Chain A
Amino acid sequence: MSERVWIKDEGIERGAEALTPERIERTINAVLGNETGARLMAYVETCAHCGLCSEACHFYLSRDRDPSYSPVGKVKQTIWPMLKNKGKVSVEFMKQATQIAQTECNLCRRCVQYCPFGIDIAYMMTLVRRIVHKLELTPLYIQDTAHSHSATLNQMWVKDDEWIDALHWQEDELRDEFPTARIPLEKEGAEIMYSVIGPEPKFRTQLIYQAAAIMNVAGLDWTMPATPGWDNSDMAMFTGDSEIMARLKRAHFETAARLRVKKIVMGECGHAFRSVYDTGNRVLGWRMPPIPVIHALEFYWDLLNEGRIKVAKQIEEPVTFHDPCNVVRGRGLHEKAREVVRAFCKNLVEMHPNREHNLCCAAGGGVINCGPPFKNARVESNRAKAEQLKATGVKICIAPCHNCHGGLDDIIHKYELDMELKFLGEIIYECMEKPEAQ
């Protein structure tokens, strides 16, 4: 395992050029002074420096237990000196803090489950990211997605007509298989608004196809918006750009409200779920989401239990299931997911640890979105995950999250795991009864 390299990123470098010690000090103190309170104080004062969070972190485990990658180690290299020096830290320090908080922590919150005091280290890393954002040090690639969010309200610079076009295209394709199927756009009063993340219309359109197939087979009253607000993803949440995050979530909820739907159903994305279900609503002042938000995993479970979809065949080969942090540690959907997996797959082989203790994909929390400069370090930093996957001896891994897919895909290649990744919807689409299909 190689030592940590301080990676050159254009966004960080250019941002650093414009920094002055005064600006760093002012910004840190503004964020820590105005935007934090009891929580940060209690966390910093309560931490016993016991190091028990270390083994929770896949970075630490993968980096040969290098303590500078442990959760508390990351706090020590970021928050502690900022507080101790009252914001007087160097440009170099801020560049390193950026790399640590933005690319060496996935905010997966596994360490929160390992801390005897329940200290939320992910929260502290988001604070660092907030400071980094205000200092304009955010890595280039993820900042680009945040810019896209700001300009288009979606993550991938998808133009308004491209979005509609992508849906029409998928509807056309769908009608080859299901002649009467629709992807209803702008249907006011529908029961369900289905929302996806920007990358789906951009390069994973088959997922929209499969979801539409499931909706049609299940005979649901659903719709998709034809306006901005269709994208539920949120990289601004991961760059500490709370203002953009609020705009995004507001557009999303307002779109659902405009369509007068009873609930929002989301595709298999983890971070978007975190944003809509947990974080974005809070930024807007909603204790819980103003409209019920149902993640795909729960949605599938509902359909299966209501008898709206039926199992036609099962996957014979053994499969394993990767629990994404944001819907498992973030929403407890692990058992429902397993029930669906078991319905469609003969043999589910558990990876260990699993469920709410599963190891992270190392892609989430905006880390994969920091792009190519950080890719090698990221993949090296998840050897632990590779070993965990390899130990299952299974060739199919179900990962119901886009970020997890990206992260696991990189790991599978790097560590030559000979494993195929699947979304759960993909399997359901393949194996469900399709009475009207041609």
Chain B
Amino acid sequence: MERIYVFVSGPLAWIAWTVFVVGSIYRIWHLLKLAKEKEQVLFSYISFKYAIRSIINWAIPWNTNNMRLHPIFVGVAFLFHIGFFLILAFLSAHVILLEEGFGLGWPALPDIVADMLAFAVLGACIFFAARRVVRPEVAFVTDWTDYALLGLVAAPFLTGILAYHQWGDPLVVTLLHILSAELLIASIPFTRLSHMLFAPFTRGYIGSEFGMVRHVKDW
């Protein structure tokens, strides 16, 4: 079991991050290549100013018209995304791993905050799943992949919480935690989680069209 742990936390982690980085670069490169080959005209409608304007306005919770129609969803969604990245980068155990592996480090979140955030992210996943069942307009466009993606995101948080609270065998739980996180990281570029990569482009493009050509807000 220790040897599996060594493999999963070492070489496999390198593989997962490499897949993520190389995959992400490939997807973005492919997107731009496709645009250049078949829709080169799009580039002449990109305005940095309006792209940023759009991205900023959609990055502020409850700022857009539609966000105000869904205040609870927006709260949960922002908490989910912020929690996700805060925990990824500032959970003390993660910071220590970086310290061990690379000798570098930065301040970590207080454990209680990180713990609450982790529960919040997990809760958000449950909220999203429930929403897919309860809301007809969401259920209509939901298929198994949507639940699978939610499961993929929820798994590292569930196992992370178990590991932190030492519920279950610490080695097994930690192993599962690392494995599920690696699966998540590696699948980002190749699933609809790639919205992480593409959202700045879709948002920026439409923001440019609305701002530069149509002279109107897109939020």
A–B proximity contact (CB within 8 A): yes
Q: Are B42 and A39 in contact (CB under 8 A)?
A: yes
Q: Are A37 and B35 in contact (CB under 8 A)?
A: yes
Tell me, in angstroms, the Cα distance from A55 to B135 when the chains sit together: 12
With A329-B214, A330-B214, A330-B216 already in contact, 5 other A-B pairs whose C-beta atoms are closer than 8 Å: A41-B31, A46-B202, A65-B137, A288-B213, A356-B217
- Within the complex, which residue of B31, B138, B141, B146 is in contact with A42, where a contact is CB–CB below 8 Å? B31
Residues of A close to B213: CB separation below 8 A: 278, 288
Q: Are B39 and A39 in contact (CB under 8 A)?
A: yes
Q: Are A42 and B215 in contact (CB under 8 A)?
A: no
Residues of A close to B41: CB separation below 8 A: 282, 287
Residues of A close to B49: CB separation below 8 A: none
Which A positions have Cβ atoms within 8 angstroms of B?
36-39, 41-43, 45-52, 54-56, 60, 65, 67-68, 70, 72-73, 75-76, 112-114, 116-120, 278, 282, 287-288, 328-332, 334, 353, 356-357
Q: List 30 A-B contacts (CB under 8 A).
A: A37-B34, A37-B37, A37-B38, A38-B39, A38-B42, A39-B42, A39-B205, A42-B201, A46-B198, A47-B195, A48-B192, A48-B195, A49-B138, A49-B192, A51-B138, A51-B140, A51-B141, A60-B137, A67-B139, A70-B141, A73-B137, A76-B141, A113-B66, A116-B199, A117-B195, A117-B203, A278-B214, A287-B44, A332-B214, A356-B217
Tell me, in angstroms, the Cα distance from A113 to B70 when the chains sit together: 14
Residues of A close to B214: CB separation below 8 A: 278, 329-332
Tell me, in angstroms, the Cα distance from A42 to B69 when the chains sit together: 26
Q: Are A67 and B137 in contact (CB under 8 A)?
A: yes
- Within the complex, which residue of A38, A49, A52, A73 is in contact with B34, where a contact is CB–CB below 8 Å? A38
Interface status of B115 (Cβ within 8 A of chain A):
no
Interface status of B207 (Cβ within 8 A of chain A):
yes
Q: Are B194 and A46 in contact (CB under 8 A)?
A: yes
Mark each residue of chain B from 143 to 172: 1 if its CB lies under 8 Å from any CB of chain A, else 0.
100100000000000000000000000000
- Within the complex, which residue of B31, B73, B215, B218 is in contact with A118, where a contact is CB–CB below 8 Å? B218
- Within the complex, which residue of B31, B140, B146, B203 is in contact with A38, where a contact is CB–CB below 8 Å? B31
Q: Are B39 and A56 in contact (CB under 8 A)?
A: no
Q: Are B39 and A113 in contact (CB under 8 A)?
A: no
Residues of B close to A119: CB separation below 8 A: 202, 206
Interface status of B89 (Cβ within 8 A of chain A):
no
Q: Are B34 and A114 in contact (CB under 8 A)?
A: no
Interface status of B103 (Cβ within 8 A of chain A):
no
A10 to chain B, nearest CB (A): 31
Q: Are B215 and A331 in contact (CB under 8 A)?
A: yes
Q: Are B65 and A113 in contact (CB under 8 A)?
A: yes
Tell me, in angstroms, the Cα distance from A60 to B32 when the chains sit together: 34
B91 to chain A, nearest CB (A): 25
Question: What total of chain B residues lie within 8 Å of the partner, measured CB to CB?
Answer: 47
Tell me, in angstroms, the Cα distance from A46 to B202 when the chains sit together: 8
Q: Are A52 and B66 in contact (CB under 8 A)?
A: yes
- Within the complex, which residue of A48, A50, A65, A356 is in contact with B216, where a contact is CB–CB below 8 Å? A356
Interface status of B136 (Cβ within 8 A of chain A):
yes
B37 to chain A, nearest CB (A): 7
Tell me, in angstroms, the Cα distance from A41 to B202 when the chains sit together: 11
Interface status of B62 (Cβ within 8 A of chain A):
no
Q: Are A328 and B216 in contact (CB under 8 A)?
A: yes
Residues of A close to B18: CB separation below 8 A: none
Tell me, in angstroms, the Cα distance from A296 to B123 when the chains sit together: 52
Tell me, in angstroms, the Cα distance from A216 to B163 when the chains sit together: 81
A32 to chain B, nearest CB (A): 11
Interface status of B119 (Cβ within 8 A of chain A):
no
Tell me, in angstroms, the Cα distance from A36 to B206 when the chains sit together: 17
Residues of B close to A67: CB separation below 8 A: 136-141
Q: Are B70 and A36 in contact (CB under 8 A)?
A: no
The chain A residue with its CB closest to the CB of B214 is A330
Tell me, in angstroms, the Cα distance from A73 to B141 when the chains sit together: 6
Chain A interface, >50% SS class: helix
The chain A residue with its CB closest to the CB of B218 is A113
The chain A residue with its CB closest to the CB of B142 is A49
Q: Are A112 and B206 in contact (CB under 8 A)?
A: yes
Interface status of B7 (Cβ within 8 A of chain A):
no
Residues of B close to A43: CB separation below 8 A: 202
Tell me, in angstroms, the Cα distance from A330 to B22 when the chains sit together: 39
A426 to chain B, nearest CB (A): 25
A75, A112, A116, A329 pick with most chain B CB within 10 angstroms: A116
Interface status of B58 (Cβ within 8 A of chain A):
yes
Interface status of B127 (Cβ within 8 A of chain A):
no
Interface status of B17 (Cβ within 8 A of chain A):
no
Q: Are A118 and B138 in contact (CB under 8 A)?
A: no
Which residues, 20 to 38 on B, are CB-close (under 8 Å) to A? 31-32, 34-35, 37-38
The chain A residue with its CB closest to the CB of B37 is A37
Tell me, in angstroms, the Cα distance from A50 to B41 when the chains sit together: 30
Q: Are B54 and A45 in contact (CB under 8 A)?
A: no
Q: Are A56 and B203 in contact (CB under 8 A)?
A: no
Residues of A close to B45: CB separation below 8 A: 287
Q: Are A46 and B199 in contact (CB under 8 A)?
A: yes
Residues of A close to B38: CB separation below 8 A: 36-38
B58, B140, B141, B218 pick with most chain A CB within 10 angstroms: B141
Q: Top 9 closest A-B pairs, CB basis?
A: A37-B38, A118-B206, A332-B215, A67-B140, A38-B35, A332-B216, A51-B138, A114-B66, A38-B34
Q: Are A72 and B141 in contact (CB under 8 A)?
A: yes
Interface status of B219 (Cβ within 8 A of chain A):
yes
B35, B137, B143 pick with most chain A CB within 10 angstroms: B137
B12 to chain A, nearest CB (A): 26
Q: Are A331 and B32 in contact (CB under 8 A)?
A: no
B129 to chain A, nearest CB (A): 12
Residues of B close to A113: CB separation below 8 A: 65-66, 210, 217-219
Q: Are A116 and B140 in contact (CB under 8 A)?
A: no
Tell me, in angstroms, the Cα distance from A43 to B205 when the chains sit together: 11
